[in-house]
Amino acid sequence: MVNLQPNPYEPNEAIILERIQESPNLFTLRLKLTDQKLQDAYEFEPGQFNMLYLYGVGEVAISIVSDPVDSHIIDHTIRVVGRVTRGMANLKKGDRIGLRGPYGRGWPMLESKQKDVVVVTGGLGCAPVVSVINYIDQRRSEYGRLNIVQGVKHTTDFIWKDRYEKWRKLSDTKVLLAADVGEALWPWHVGPVTSLFDQLEFDPTNVAVMMCGPEGMMRVVCDHMLDKSVSAEQMFLSMERNMQCAVGHCGHCQYGNKFICKDGPVFSFAKVRDLFGVKGF
Amino acid sequence: MKMECHFIQSDQLQKLLDNLLANGYVCIGPQVRDGAIIYDEINSTKQLPRGVTDTQAPGSYTLNNNSSDKYFDWANGPQAIKPLLFASRESLWQSEQSVNGQISFITTEPILKPIAIIGVRACDIAAMKIQDQHFLQQQFVDPYYKIRRDNLLTVAVNCGCPAEMCFCHSTGDGPFVDDGADVVMTELDSGFLISAHSSQGEKLLKGLTLQPVTQRQIEESETIRIKSSKQNKNLPHYDIKSRLFNALRDEFWHEIATKCLSCGNCTAVCPTCFCHNETDVAELDGKSSIHYRQWDSCFSQGHSYIHGITIRSETSQRYRQWLTHKFSSWHEQYGRSGCVGCGRCIAWCPVGIDVTESLANFEDRRRG
C-alpha cells in the first residue's frame, strides 16, 4: 500500500457561499471548505495565501482577505488577469472549487501592536493589505495611528470607494488618496502617491509600514520612508512571483536566496533590499 | 558504521544482479542506447557497456570502443538517478466532477517497485543528497519523491574514467563516493573492491562470495583515485558565492546571451535542478481532469511569467538567474553549492558553453 499522505499538492473541495462583484474585473469569492472538520481546523494569518483550483483548468495563488478570527469563511478578492481567474469570474454561488493552504508568511500583525501603522497601496485595489486594515479595525485600540494611502494612475482605476469612506470614519485613522492623472469631480489629491507623505502622522521610531503594489512604487515608498528615518526592518512588502506548488519545491518564485511562497510573500525591506528593483529577479 | 572492504571476482557482479532480482528489485544499470550510455532496466552483466568508453567536449558526446575489459570504464552520460526519483512528468492527482457539481480529488498512486541502481557515480550520489534536502528535508515533504527514495538502493561505482568535462574533484563530490550510497565498488583489473555503507547494503553483500582485500588491490584502487582526481576542469578559486551577486550588472551576462540559446538542456541534464511546473489536463468527456507536474527550466519563457509580465524576458537574465542560483544563493538555501561537477551542462550544451569558463570570467575581470 502506497501512502502519499499528507500530500501538500492536493486541494480540498470548497463551496462558494457568496460571489461579490467589486468592479468590472474584480470579484470576491466567499468560500468554505466542504469538509467541516477541515474548515474548523483551518487557521491563517493576514497576508497568507491559498492555492485555488478551477476544475479542469488549474491553480492560482490568491491572498486571503477575510479576518483570521472568523473561522466560518475564507474570502478571496480576485482580479481577472489570466486563464484561471477569467474562468473563476464565471463561477456563482454554490459552485465548487479546490483550495489548499494557507501558505507563506503574512504581515507582522502581532509584532506591530501599539505601533503606528502606515498602509500604502498602489495600482488597482490591493487585496493583501485589505486584511491588514480589517485586522486593525477589529482591534482598533491595540494599534497606534493608522494611515491608509492609496495611489492610482487614473481616477477611474479607483475601486472600493465605499470601503475607503468607511475606513475614513475609523478613529485615529487618516485616509489619503492620490491619482497621477486627475479629472473633474475627483475630490482627492492629484500627483504621485509619495507627494502625500508629508501629511502622514506617525512616529518613525515606532511604526510599521506595510505596502503592496507595483515594485517600482514600493521602491519609491521605501526610499521616502528611509529619508524619514524609518528603518528598513520596519517596512514590509508583499511580493508576487509565479507560484505553482506554493510549498517551496517548484522553483518558480525563487528570489535570490528565498522562495517567495514559503519565505514570504511578506518580507521586511531589509530582507530583500539587495535584489529589490534589479530587473530580472 | 564501520565499512569493511572486500574483494569480489567479476563474475560476482551477475550474482549481485541475480540476488537483487530475486529479492524483488528492478535493477537499473548503464547500457548503450542511441549513441549514449543511459540507465535503464538490466538483468544481465552482458547489457553493461563493457569495452565502451566516451569522448566528451563542450557540446559534444560520442562513444568509442576501447580495449578494456572493464564494465565501468566510461564517464557519465546525460542522466542517472534524478529521473528515477523526480520523474520528468507524472500525475499528482486527479479531480472528478459529479453531475451536481461536486469535485472530488483522487491521489495518483505511482506504480512502485523497489529499484536498485547499479553503477552510479559519486557526482550523482552527491546530487541525490541535494535533491533529498530539497524535496524531503524542508517544511513540506514531497510524498512522491519520498516514496521512491525510500525504495531506492544505490550500488555506486567509484569513477575511474572521468571525462574531459568533469570537475567533481574541484567541487569536492568525487571521483570516489564518501557517503550516501548503500554499496560502493571500485573496479580493478581483475574484479571489484566492494563495501557496504548501509544495513541494506550489508544484506546485499551477504549473498556474494567475498574475499579479503590484498595490499596490492588497495594500492591499485588508490592509483585509480589519484588518477581520476586529476581533472582538467576546475572551479575558479575566488569567492564565487559573494562575487556573483556583486556582478549583477556585469556586461558578461549580455555577452553570454549572444551564444546561449536558452534551450534549457543544461537544466534538463543537471542532476540537482528541481524546477517543475504543474498543469491540468482535462479529459474530453469533462468528467475528470488530471493534474500533472513536469520538469521546467529557468531558461523557459514561462518560468517567470506572472499575470501578463515575464520577469526574465531576456536570455541574459535567465543565464544570470541560473548561474547565480546554482553557485551563489544555493549556498544559503542548502548549505552548499548546487553544482556537483558532473560536467553534463557543458557536454550537452548545443553551443558548448562551459560553466567553469563562465565563472572564471569573473575572476579574470577582477584581475584585469
3-state SS, A147-181, equals: EEEEEEEEHHHCCCHHHHHHHHCCCCEEEEEEEEE
- In this prediction, residue B366 carries a pLDDT of 53
B104 CB within 8 Å of a chain A CB: yes
User: Which residue, of B168, B203, B229, is where some domain finishes?
Assistant: B229
Closest-CA residue of B relative to A13 is B103
Do B165 and B341 form a contact (C-beta atoms < 8 A)?
Answer: no
Domain coverage including residue B118: 5-229
Of A58, A250, A257, the CB nearest to B333: A257
Question: Does a cis peptide bond (omega within 30 degrees of 0) precede residue B175?
Answer: yes
| Angle at CA of residue A116, ends A111 and A121, nearest 5° | 95
Interchain CB distance below 8 Å, B103 and A98: yes
Decide: B194 and B8 in contact? Cβ < 8 Å: yes
pLDDT tens for chain A, 281 residues long, are: 567 888 999 999 999 999 999 888 889 999 999 999 999 999 999 999 999 999 999 999 999 998 888 878 999 999 898 899 999 999 999 999 999 999 999 999 999 999 999 999 987 667 788 889 989 999 999 999 999 998 887 777 777 778 888 898 998 999 998 888 777 777 778 888 888 888 999 999 999 999 998 898 899 999 999 999 999 999 999 999 999 999 999 999 999 999 999 999 999 999 999 999 899 99
Please indicate, yes or no, whether residues B71 and B220 belong to a single structural domain of this protein: yes
CB A211 within 8 A of CB A276: no
Q: Name the minimum distance, in Å, from the CA of B270 to any CA of chain A.
A: 14
Contact criterion met (CB < 8 Å) for B296 and A256? no
B180 and B126 within one domain: yes
Q: Enumerate residues 6+ apart whose C-beta is below 8 A from B259.
A: B351, B353
- Across the range B293-305, mean pLDDT stands at 96
Q: For residue B233, which phi and psi values (nearest 5 degrees)?
A: -95, 145
- B138 chain-A contacts, CB cut-off 8 A: 247-249, 262
User: Domain check: are B111 and B172 in the same one?
Assistant: yes
Domains and CATH numbers, chain A: 12-103 (2.40.30.10), 116-272 (3.40.50.80)
Chosen from A254, A260, A271, A272 to mutate, greatest number of chain B CBs within 10 A: A254
> Is the domain of B213 the same as that of B287?
no
Q: Of A186-200, B55-69, B145-159, B335-349, which range is least confident? A: A186-200
Q: What is the pLDDT of residue A140?
A: 93
User: CA neighbours within 13 Å on the CB side: how many for B14?
Assistant: 6
Q: pLDDT band for B368, please (50, 70, 90 cuts).
A: very low
Residues B207 and B254 in one domain: no
Report ipTM for this prediction: 0.92
Task: Please check whether residue A54 is in contact with residue A87, taking contact to mean a CB–CB distance below 8 angstroms.
Answer: yes
Of B332, B10, B355, B365, the residue nearest B167 (C-alpha): B355
Domain boundary among B177, B209, B229: B229
pLDDT higher than 80, residue B2: no
Residue B235 belongs to some domain of the structure: no
Same domain, B10 and B155: yes
Cell of A120: 500604502
HSE-up of B254 (CA within 13 Å, CB side)? 3
**B360 three-class SS:** helix
**pLDDT band of B1, cuts 50, 70, 90:** low
- Apex A12 CA angle, A8 and A16, nearest 5: 140
Please, which residues bridge with residue B94 across strands?
Answer: B106, B290
Contact call for A248 and B141, based on CB within 8 A:
no
Which of A155-159, B223-227, B257-261 comes out lowest in average pLDDT? A155-159
- Cβ contact B121:B76 at 8 Å: yes
Q: List strands edge to edge, sheet with B103-107.
A: B103-107, B89-97, B288-295, B276-282
Contact between residue A253 and residue A265 where contact means Cβ atoms under 8 Å apart: no
Predicted local confidence at residue B365, as pLDDT: 64
Q: Is B261 among the domain residues?
A: yes
Q: pLDDT tens for residues A151-203?
A: 887 777 777 778 888 898 998 999 998 888 777 777 778 888 888 888 999 99
Burial class (CB in 10 A: 0-12, 13-18, 19+), A186: middle
Per-residue buried b or exposed e for B145-175, using 16+ beta carbons within 10 Å of the residue's own CB = bbbbbebbbbbbbbbbbbbbbbbbbbbebbb
A200: cell is 502622514
Instruction: Name chain B contacts of A3, Cβ cutoff 8 Å.
Output: 143, 147
Specify the pLDDT at position A164. 86
- Three-state secondary structure call for residue A253: coil
So what's the pLDDT on residue A125?
60
| CA B87/CA B80 separation, integer angstroms | 12
How many separate domains does chain B show? Answer: 2
Asked which of B229, B261, B288 is the last residue of a domain, the reply is: B229
Instruction: Looking at the structure, tell me whether residues B89 and B212 fall in a common domain.
Output: yes
Based on the domain organization, do B219 and B259 belong to the same domain? no
Beta strands in chain B (DSSP E): 5-9, 26-33, 36-41, 52-57, 60-65, 89-97, 103-107, 115-120, 152-157, 183-187, 191-196, 276-282, 288-295, 305-306, 309-310
Mean per-residue pLDDT for B9-26?
Answer: 96
Taking residues B217-244, report their average pLDDT: 94
pLDDT at B168 over 50: yes
Is residue B300 one of the residues assigned to a domain? yes
pLDDT tens for B169-180 read 999 999 999 999
Determine, yes or no, domain membership for B234: no
Sequence letter at residue A188: W
pLDDT of residue B367 exceeding 50, the answer is no
Cell 521602491 identifies what position? A219
Q: Which residues of B touch A251 (CB under 8 A)?
A: 274-276, 296, 298
Comparing CA positions, the residue from B33, B131, B16 lying closest to residue B83 is B131
- Assess whether B362 and B285 both reside in one domain: yes
In this predicted model, what pLDDT tens digit does every residue of B188-215 receive, in sequence order?
999 999 999 999 999 999 999 999 999 9
The mean pLDDT value of chain B amounts to: 95
Both B265 and B359 in a single domain? yes
Residues of A with Cβ-Cβ distance to B107 under 8 angstroms:
4-5, 7, 10
The DSSP code for B311 is T
CB B88 within 8 A of CB B98: no
Among B133, B130, B124, smallest CA distance to B156 is for B124
- Which three three-digit cell numbers place residue A67? 479576518
Q: Is residue B287 part of a domain?
A: yes
* Residues whose CB falls within 8 Å of the CB of residue A230, separated by 6 or more in sequence, listed in order: A204, A207, A209
Asked whether residue B165 is assigned to any structural domain, the reply reads yes
Domain match, B138 and B254 both: no
Judge: B140–A248 Cβ closer than 8 Å, yes or no.
yes
Lowest-pLDDT choice from A210-219, B80-89, B223-232, B265-274: A210-219
Neighbours of B216 (CB within 10 A): 9
> Distance between CA atoms of A246 and A59, rounded to whole angstroms?
10
- In terms of domains, do B179 and B291 share one? no
Q: How many residues does chain B have?
A: 368
